Amino acid sequence: MVKRFLAGAVCLLSATSAFAEPAPTPPVAAKKPHQVAAPFGAVREDEYYWLRDDTRKNPDVLSWLAAENSYADGQLARLTPLKDTLFKEITGRIAPDDSSVPYRQRGYLYYRRFAAGQDYPVTARRKGAMTAPEEVLLDQPAMAKGKGFFSIGAWEVSPDNRYVAYAEDSVGRQQFRLKVREIATGRIVDETVANIEDALVWADDNRTIYYIDKDPVTLLSKRVKAHVIGTPASDDRLIHEEKDDSFYISLKRTASDKYACIFLWSTTSNEARCAPASGKGEFTVFAPREKGWLYNVDHIGDRWLVWSNHQAPNYRLMSVPDTAQTADRTQWRDLVAPSDTAFIEAFKPFNGFVAIEERVNGNKRIRLLANDGKSTSVAADEPAYTMTLDTNAEPATDWLRYRYESMVTPPTIYEVNAKTGERRQLKRQPVPGYDPAQYVTERVWATARDGTRVPVSLVHHRKFHRNGTAALYQVGYGAYGSSYDPAFNIAWPSLADRGMVVAIAQIRGGQDMGRAWYDNGRLMKKMNSFTDFIDVTRHLVAQKYAAPRRTAGFGRSAGGLLMGTVANMAPEDYGVIVTQVPFVDAVTTMLDPTIPLTTNEYDEWGNPEQKPAYDYILGYSPYDNIAAKHYPAIYVSTGLWDSQVQYYEPAKWVARLREKKTGDNPLLFRVQMEAGHGGKSGRFRRYEEQAEYLAFMMDQLGVAQ
């Protein structure tokens, strides 16, 4: 993969020189006949299919991408002062030498710290107390030096505290390499295993590491293997091979530290396989997978806890004693019964209580359930907020650590005592120059066209007047059951300070209002996600939060599918559309099982090899529904090495939009040549593109500077 990247970089340099001056007119991609056929006989013409180059080395493709970057540079040149101002404002809200709250595990306090001006943190620990000498685990600034992209995924310290195993990606394709470092000496003792997922678990022998091997073509998680430090990767023992390509794989040790578990999960079915963490026993199935049945497990004391949708659309929490046959559901007992109003999303067991993440009325909150059955919810003071469980590495404590934030309140780490209710603030993320008292967050409800009430979280300046003249920045996602929680974003004060309103449309397709919220926004009900977003825009305009056609829509990845479809369905409602790594070529991608993620997602979008699903997806696929119409201004970005939404999806979309759209509204395509799905790496560099597209957005909406 590194060789491929270097070869592509050489081609890019030669291609870029041919487009050194900003192009006065948009690049025009050649049209080449190509047909995409479905198994049942349907055929579509895809004249820009040639822009797909899996090697990332085709000089014609790289030249066209370079021309798009050059054209974007030329069109955005006049906005450089605003972009620089925004970048300075946004990064100015990042504390230059910030550090995390230490957490305790096996006698050590672990934390990470940023030095002033550094893009990457140092991960370190101290034995017993923060006054002890520092031991560096991962000096990421040094490790990232000279790399165009750098990311550390999972890292885990061995049970004897001697080694740190970590997953490293230096391309952006999420094909990690396993490395093992001896902490005391800093010496790398193993780096033979490549192309793995971002998940690692140690066995108790301090020599064996469980990891997930990826398919080199589809990048699907396929096999769980056991690697012994110092032995060749070819000797790694196969633990499990997943034959069903609709399943993902993850790993973890249980809260009790007694078991290592493999989790196999898809949209509609899960399975757990666990073994003693000693590494001496076999992995056995906790309960066999069934279509439509989802569950997750953890272990504490002498019992298993099971989170399950068994006769519970919003999930229930159950207990199974160690002595029971875990697959026999008649032996499972409710700890938290099913609810129509509270959706259980996650849980964390402790010796004396269980912490539960649940969603109620569009907000995520935390509830504490004591072993004696007493239940209490952690209080919040704002109408729209997010609580999430923080790092709680040791279960033998009465204190739960959690994170609280809102669109006004920066991330704040609290501890709450499960017995007394006492709460103490450990840290609030420092945001230099930011005064939360100057901003207001709201929760409003928009009525969708089918009568459904959609939660919307807002933030604006305290001096904002709701008079129907403001510009609106509306964001959304609406897929995979992934909720768009009202969280703090360090860029948004720059919008609110200029009189804008920022809105999170918590549309169907997420799980903001429970599992039914997700089910009503996927498969043959996917259209609800798109109409919800449009109806939220129209509601906010009608309620005078914004002026007509002064709305910017933003979404990334599956949220890019949202943006592309919204642009086709209601271009007159938006002044500008901004989308990153957008999934916009849904039919062609879902017809190709060799593309990463395709087979995993048949239960999300449908399998277009079947005609009903084909026809439904074709009805909204952004690439397939481009027409000769007056689109709003559009900013699109992608990463050449994206493994989740391949760069050629937005490339083809832009090419066809250029051909068909009417009017003079700009269409810009920014290609990050050294990045993947997450964009540029590093805590400062990631905001360079954000400053650029925000400047473009403000300019198109006429936001006063």
Do both 481 and 546 map to the same domain? Answer: yes
pLDDT band at 267 (very low <50, low <70, confident <90, very high): confident
Q: Is the pLDDT of residue 17 over 50?
A: no
Do both 540 and 631 map to the same domain? Answer: yes
Residue 42 inside a domain? The answer is yes
Edge-first strand order for the sheet with 163-169 is 151-157, 163-169, 176-182, 188-202, 208-214, 221-228, 237-241
Q: Is the pLDDT of residue 384 over 70?
A: yes
Do both 424 and 477 map to the same domain? Answer: no
CA-atom Rg of the chain in angstroms: 25
Q: Burial code of 103-114, b = ≥16 C-beta within 10 A, e = fewer?
A: beeeebbbbbeb
Sign of CA dihedral 100, 104, 109, 110: negative
Residue 190 inside a domain? The answer is no
Sign of CA dihedral 519, 521, 522, 523: positive
Residue 489 inside a domain? The answer is yes
pLDDT band at 2 (very low <50, low <70, confident <90, very high): very low
The pLDDT assigned to 682 comes to 61
Greatest alpha-carbon span in the chain? 74
Do both 382 and 518 map to the same domain? Answer: no
pLDDT band at 23 (very low <50, low <70, confident <90, very high): very low
Residue 82 inside a domain? The answer is yes
Angle at 361 between CA 502 and CA 333, to 5 degrees: 140
Residue 360 inside a domain? The answer is yes
Do both 392 and 470 map to the same domain? Answer: no
Final residue of a domain: which of 430, 465, 488?
A: 430
What confidence tens digit (pLDDT) does each residue in 136-176 have? 999 999 999 988 888 899 999 999 999 999 999 887 778 89
Q: Is the pLDDT of residue 21 over 50?
A: no
Do both 425 and 467 map to the same domain? Answer: no
- What residues contact residue 272 under an 8 Å CB cut-off, 6+ apart? 261, 262, 263, 264, 285, 286, 287, 295, 296, 297
Q: What is the CATH number of the domain that holds 480?
A: 3.40.50.1820
Do both 348 and 396 map to the same domain? Answer: yes
The pLDDT assigned to 168 comes to 93
Do both 409 and 554 map to the same domain? Answer: no
Catalytic machinery residues: 557, 642, 677
Do both 412 and 478 map to the same domain? Answer: no
Which residues face 304 on adjacent strands?
299, 320
* Residue recorded with tokens 């395509």: 669
User: Total domain count for the chain?
Assistant: 2
Cα 621 to Cα 568: distance, rounded to the nearest angstrom: 9
Are the C-beta atoms of 543 and 444 separated by less than 8 Å? yes
Do both 647 and 500 map to the same domain? Answer: yes
Look at residues 421, 336, 435 and name the one whose alpha carbon lies nearest to residue 377: 421
Do both 387 and 507 map to the same domain? Answer: no
Are the C-beta atoms of 173 and 196 separated by less than 8 Å? no
Mean pLDDT of 528-539: 98
Are the C-beta atoms of 489 and 462 separated by less than 8 Å? no
Do both 418 and 466 map to the same domain? Answer: no
Residue 128 inside a domain? The answer is no
Residue 283 inside a domain? The answer is no
Angstrom distances, CA of residue 173 to CA of 54, 278, 311: 12, 33, 39
Mean pLDDT of 491-506: 98
**Percent of the chain at pLDDT above 90?**
84
The boundaries of the domain holding residue 403 are 341-430
What confidence tens digit (pLDDT) does each residue in 571-607 have? 999 999 999 999 999 999 999 988 877 888 999 999 9
Residue 328 inside a domain? The answer is no
The pLDDT assigned to 595 comes to 84
